[in-house]
Amino acid sequence: MVLLNNMKSLMKYCKLCSMRGIGQYHTLSRLFQPLNVKPKDATVTKDQAISISQKLLMDTGVISLRSNGMFALLPLGQRVMTKLIKLMDTEMSCIGAQRLSLPLLTSGNLWKKTGRWESTGQELLTLLDRHGKEYVLSPTHEEAVTNLMSEMYPFSFRQLPLRLYQIGSKFRDEMKPRFGLIRSREFVMKDLYTFDGSEEAARDTYEEIGGAYNRIFQRLGIPYLREPSSSGEESEVPSPRKMVYDVYRKASAPMRRLHLQGDDEDDVNEPQTSSVSTWLASPVTMQRKSLPGKPPLNKGTRVGHTFLLGTKYSKTLNALYQNESGKPEVLQMGCYGIGLSRVLAASVEVLARAGNVKWPWEIVPFKICLIGPKKGSKEGGAASWVGHLAEVLSSTSALQDEVVVDDRDRLTIGKRVMEAKKSGYPFIVVVGKRACEMVPMFEVLDCVNDESQFLSHKMLMSWASQLS
Amino acid sequence: MVLLNNMKSLMKYCKLCSMRGIGQYHTLSRLFQPLNVKPKDATVTKDQAISISQKLLMDTGVISLRSNGMFALLPLGQRVMTKLIKLMDTEMSCIGAQRLSLPLLTSGNLWKKTGRWESTGQELLTLLDRHGKEYVLSPTHEEAVTNLMSEMYPFSFRQLPLRLYQIGSKFRDEMKPRFGLIRSREFVMKDLYTFDGSEEAARDTYEEIGGAYNRIFQRLGIPYLREPSSSGEESEVPSPRKMVYDVYRKASAPMRRLHLQGDDEDDVNEPQTSSVSTWLASPVTMQRKSLPGKPPLNKGTRVGHTFLLGTKYSKTLNALYQNESGKPEVLQMGCYGIGLSRVLAASVEVLARAGNVKWPWEIVPFKICLIGPKKGSKEGGAASWVGHLAEVLSSTSALQDEVVVDDRDRLTIGKRVMEAKKSGYPFIVVVGKRACEMVPMFEVLDCVNDESQFLSHKMLMSWASQLS
């Protein structure tokens, strides 16, 4: 067939490489996962409170403090972030949102037009280029996206509703960065901006996106509250036009009243941007600031917001659409955010138990950690099972690229199990003493329910095939 | 089984959503793809040369100029970038490289220690935080990654070779940004840093990564040359320790001699950073600068580099490992980059034909554009085929999420085919006159080979199932 020429010429890439992943597994000895690292230049000073999540994430080599309020995602953290991004992409696609990327630098002029250059104050990181032009290292992109839309006219009513989102780095020069990824100066956000033709349509959008956000947090399986926010320039009463998502430990989830009490001091003191800001201001939390090293957040961590903006930005920056009669009309906007760095940290913050990380299943760095016998031990002969099991487990659909082998066989099984539990792998498969029996049995530890059982090879495969 | 409890509780997320994608297709009427946009504030001024790729990418709504030398990736561009990133991740995983993310802001002190704060000059974007501390908006991350490694000691020889890469935004304050994504001030790069225990091991790494880079450009199917670079601080003769990857139109691929002639003026004038820099300096190109609007690049576009760094950074910043005798030794480093924004633009630059975009198969925004009859035309009755074909085509493994329907049925088929060709979709499926025949026939246009043929429903499905 003629068309095959095209296909053949187009598809001469390495077939081998595109097959990788199936049956492939990772080994802990090669994983760049520095444990218990104490940075030299970037120590946590006494006036910086650290949180449960910051300590655990640093201790297990998921993040690394690089400078004040700025963290690197190490390979394990990057794996979590990649999965979070995939989850966002799926849910955003479900509501017809389209992903784009605006520059991280936004012209200072746009921020001056909306007044936020002044109102954001010192939290805004700004710079001059070589020609002396001012730029904002964007904490959020209302100005940039509205400016983009202002150039689209005549943008037809037929193309509404329009939903545009991006996933990327954001910046805020916090006075006192603290609690690791929860209040950092450089962080990753998914920010979504919506455009509608009428207030009513904008409200429908608002509801639909609220639904998507609920699904996201439900999929993550972290306890959260969706509540009206009382913060804002126009009013100090809670408004249904502004909802926030706060993550709680189950035990400490506050009554609604208690929650609203918390929305005070910090938020009033802070310049109001519409991006995510932690709610850390209850009297209890305020006291804790003077106790470095104490986990500060058994209250709530703000991880998301949904704001109906009306025409605040679109009017100022002239973002219009052409209505059914061909007349220009101002677009109704909404902005919606989920702090991905915060979701990563908040998950650990609220799910951790007894000093062990617990990851939401959907974003865990690896689903299974496989541990073989110590070299030279009685059960040393069972070592040959490890590679085989890693390969066949990695070949099941749910575990492709999800198996890590702790191959540091100079360490005892017990020591490695302890570390694997600390790192939060949901399942640990141990090739130990009973792997030497006539019918070899392998121990599967369920770290979420603190249960374990011994499975034969056949049962293990059947168990793995049921995972998803 | 006990373990099922864990699974069940972990996996209560929306099954429906994770199934999305199969049989789902996009419609052009809802796609945010502004055609022929003329930005108001951000016009291409006369002294800015634009390139074939910049014009085509802007005309087809793939990118949008936001401010001088800074572009947004619109949804089509984002799709290309997402595919490029996936390709990088696959190839990096093949050579055992681990992905991480360092902050975009790097402490100015580190750059002062290596001398690059001074030597990079005005191309370096810097800022002060609220406490007056200096930061670099990083154009590259040698300092940051070496500083990270310096905190790892004792890092065992057993963990070498170590290969760390990231994919993200980079910044360079070009004096004269031009040619769209080819010389912009904010761009996306994949940057890889390697650590070895000896010069010999570093050279092996260098060869292996060279192989991976070759595979990447071969998979993309763009004509390129891998050549020793003559640019550098230490020497002006080409060195096998520094290789560069330049993309060429086939017709204009220069002789080796000619290529080396080009590596002159611009590179000498520019401060030498080890990141990707365009090679734009042949006398011919220099003349062209005064001719705005002329495509400047039928020579080469630099899209990648591989540099053996030796101990340049690791010595200065004290990045050591513990050798087999337990003694500290300085790490041997390499840095390797591929400019993803540039690859996107360079692909269009060299593959475009007769004013039509041609995308490499692996990164094309959509593999198939489906066009139905004009509303009210003679063949209007065949319109019901469109949704059906879109669904079944999207259900084949290679075309999941790869089908876009041009549903603007007020336009003629001819007009839409023309636009689809311009946008660079490799295959266009037309539901036209012959779809009304007893045995309906659909036209498949192969835009790479400028061929077309009519296929029955059955043949069309069989054809689609062979794509990959």
Name the most confidently modeled range: A13-27, B94-108, B217-231, B274-288: B94-108
Residues of A whose CB is below 8 A from B151: 34, 37-41, 64
The residues, any chain, with a CB within 8 Å of residue A111's CB and separated by 6 or more, are A117, A120, A124, A136, A143
d(CA A427, CA A429): 7
Is it the case that residue B231 has pLDDT exceeding 70? no
Where b means 16+ CB within 10 Å and e means fewer, B1-30 reads eebeebbeebbebeeebeeeeebbbbbbeb
Which CATH architecture does the domain made up of B366-465 adopt? 3-Layer(aba) Sandwich (3.40)
* Architecture of the domain whose range is A27-351: 2-Layer Sandwich (3.30)
3-state SS track over B151-191: CCCCCEHHHCCEEEEEEEEEECCCCCCECHHHECCEEEEEE
Q: Please, which residues have CB within 8 angstroms of residue A155's CB and are 6 or more apart in sequence?
A: A149, A320, A321, A322
Query: A152: which chain B residues are within 8 Å (Cβ-Cβ)?
Result: 34, 37
CA distance B154 to chain A (A): 10
- Given a cut of 50, whether residue A167 has pLDDT beyond it is yes
Beta carbons of B67 and A93 less than 8 Å apart: no
Q: Do B11 and A468 touch (CB under 8 A)?
A: yes
pLDDT digits (tens, 9 = 90+) for A446-455: 998 999 999 9
In DSSP terms, A454 is beta-bridged to A443
d(Cα B397, Cα A38) in Å, to the nearest integer?
47
The mean per-residue pLDDT over the stretch A215-224 comes to: 93
Contact between A90 and B448 using a beta-carbon 8 Å cutoff: no
Q: How far is B102 from chain A (nearest CA, A)?
A: 4
Using 50, 70 and 90 to split pLDDT, how confident is the model at A287?
very low
Is the peptide bond prior to B283 cis by the omega test (within 30 degrees of 0)?
no
Q: Cβ–Cβ of A218/B13 closer than 8 Å?
A: yes
pLDDT at B275 > cutoff 60: no
- CB distance A3–B147 less than 8 Å? no
Of B7, B5, B6, the C-alpha closest to A466 is B7
Dump pLDDT digits (tens) for B288-301. Answer: 333 344 444 456 89
Residues of chain B numbered 3-22 and touching chain A (CB < 8 Å): 3-7, 9-14, 17-18, 20-21
Cβ within 8 Å of A, B 186-225: 186, 215, 218-219, 221
Residue in chain A closest to B64 (alpha carbons) equals A148
Contact A446 B3 (CB under 8 A): yes
- For tokens 């039928």, name the residue: B298
Contact check, Cβ <8 Å, B12/A73: no
Exposure b/e, A378-392, CB count within 10 A at least 16 = b? ebeebbebbeebbeb
Determine the residue of chain A that is closest to B462 in CA distance: A1
What number of CA atoms fall less than 13 Å from residue B68's CA on the CB side? 19
Tell me, what's the pLDDT at B105?
98
Residues of A in contact with B13 (CB under 8 A): 215, 218-219, 221, 362
pLDDT tens column, A34-66: 875 444 444 444 445 578 899 999 999 999 999
Same fold for the pair A27-351 and A366-465: no
- Minimal Cα–Cα distance from B105 to chain A, Å? 8
Q: What is the pLDDT of residues B129-141, one digit of tens each?
A: 999 999 999 999 9
Q: Is B354 on the interface with A (CB under 8 A)?
A: no
B100 vs A78, A96, A158: nearest CB: A78
Tell me the C-alpha distance between A148 and B444, whole Å: 36
Q: What is the pLDDT of residue A373?
A: 97
Length of chain A, in residues: 468
Q: Is B324 left (phi over 0), alpha (psi -120 to 50) or beta?
A: alpha
pLDDT 10s digits, B299-334: 689 999 999 999 999 999 999 999 999 999 999 999
Query: Phi and psi dihedrals of A424, rounded to 5?
Result: 90, 20
Cβ distance of A13 and B105 shorter than 8 Å: no
Q: What is the model's pLDDT at position B327?
A: 98
pLDDT score recorded for residue A36? 59
Q: What pLDDT score does A17 carry? A: 39
The answer to whether residue B306 neighbours chain A at the CB level (below 8 Å) is no
B400-420 confidence digits (pLDDT tens) = 999 999 999 999 999 999 999
Task: Give contacts of B 65-94 with A, CB under 8 A.
Answer: 66-68, 70-75, 77-78, 81-82, 90-91, 93-94
Distance from CA of A291 to the nearest CA of B (A): 23
On chain A, the residues whose CB falls within 8 A of the CB of B427 are 3, 6
Q: Which residues pair with A244 in a beta bridge?
A: A227, A305
B162 touches chain A (CB under 8 A): yes
Task: Kindly report the backbone phi and psi dihedral angles of residue A119, in degrees, each rounded to the nearest multiple of 5, phi listed first.
Answer: -70, -25
Mean pLDDT of A135-158: 96
Express each pLDDT in B69-105 by its tens digit.
Answer: 999 999 999 999 999 999 999 999 999 999 999 999 9
Q: Could you tell me if A243 lies within 8 Å of chain B, comparing CB atoms?
A: no
A&B contacts, CB < 8 Å: 264
Residue whose tokens read 């001699």: B257
Domain segments of chain B as ranges:
27-351, 366-465
Q: Taking CB atoms and an 8 Å limit, are B144 and A6 in contact across chains? A: no
d(CA A16, CA A234) in angstroms, rounded, equals 59
Q: Where are the strands (E) in A47-88, listed by range? A: 63-67, 70-73
- Predicted local confidence at residue A250, as pLDDT: 64
Confidence (pLDDT) at A18: 43
Write the ipTM. 0.86
Q: How far is B263 from chain A (nearest CA, A)?
A: 25
Amino acid identity at A430: V
Per-residue model confidence (pLDDT) at position A35 = 77
Judge contact between B393 and B368, C-beta under 8 A.
Answer: yes
Q: Which of B2, B7, B146, B322 to probe the A interface (max A CBs under 10 A)?
A: B7
- Mean pLDDT computed over A410-423: 96
Q: Does A467 touch chain B (CB under 8 A)?
A: yes
A35 in Cβ contact with A419 (< 8 Å): yes
Name the residue with higher pLDDT: B206 or A259.
Answer: B206
pLDDT tens digit string along B440-454?
Answer: 999 999 998 999 999
Pick the residue from chain B with its C-alpha nearest to A85. B82
- How far, CA to CA in Å, does A199 sit from each of A205, A210, A308, A401, B293? 10, 16, 9, 46, 43
Contact by Cβ (8 Å): B453, A4:
no
Instruction: With cut-offs at 50, 70 and 90, classify the pLDDT of residue B67.
Output: very high
Which DSSP symbol is given to A439?
A: S
Mean predicted confidence (pLDDT) in B389-394: 95
- pLDDT for res B29: 87
DSSP B385-453: HHHHHHHHHHHSGGGTT-EEEE--TTS-HHHHHHHHHHHT-SEEEE--GGGGSSS-EEEEEETTTTEEE
